[in-house]
Amino acid sequence: MWTLGHAVREIERSHHQVTIEETATTGAAVIFWTITILSLILIFPNVIHRRDFGALFLLPVPLYFSLFGLYAAVRSSFVADRAHGILIVKRQIGPWSFQKMYKSETIDLIYVRHTIKGSGLAVHFKSGKNKDLTMSLDSQADIESAAAALNHFL
């Protein structure tokens, strides 16, 4: 799917669990990686053929854009499982995936955080700590319903 912003949606619901997905920002990732490749094409011929080693100081530019491309390519899912009493947070970047589990008894509330960049999901723990769950800039209604669904199953 080609998107320029992260989107949050419910993808599965049963009697005991709900799964919320935050899509990757495919469009932005492609744009950032294209800029990365183009900047490398412009930098390396100067270094190799013209022996202009001053162009090496421009290497942070493609690195900067490639990191933004990785950030945009992150896909996340959140599974609230009432039967096991856990919230599972899964992140995937290409072939790599990472998973973190939180016991529901440590979670006070899943809520919508508001920043200057937009809204996203966050979790407030009973210890008083907060943790952002999404990088989302999605519509308010989608995020509110996702937070409500996760809270209902925890």
Domain extents for the chain? 8-24+74-153, 29-69
C-beta of residue 120 within 8 angstroms of C-beta of residue 133: yes
Buried b (16+ CB within 10 A) or exposed e, 74-84: bbbbbbbbeee
Highest-confidence segment of 63-72, 75-84, 108-117: 75-84
What does the pLDDT read at residue 143?
A: 82
DSSP state of 12: E
What integer best gives the mean pLDDT of the chain? 85
Stated pTM of the model? 0.78
Please tell me the distance from the alpha carbon of residue 23 to that of residue 25, in angstroms, as a whole number: 6
The answer to whether 79 and 18 have CB atoms below 8 angstroms apart is yes
For 8-24+74-153, CATH number out of 1.10.760, 2.30.29, 1.10.10, 2.60.40 equals 2.30.29
Banded model confidence at residue 19, pLDDT cuts 50, 70, 90: very high
Residue 118 confidence (pLDDT): 75
Q: Where are the alpha helices (DSSP H) in the chain?
A: 26-48, 60-72, 140-153
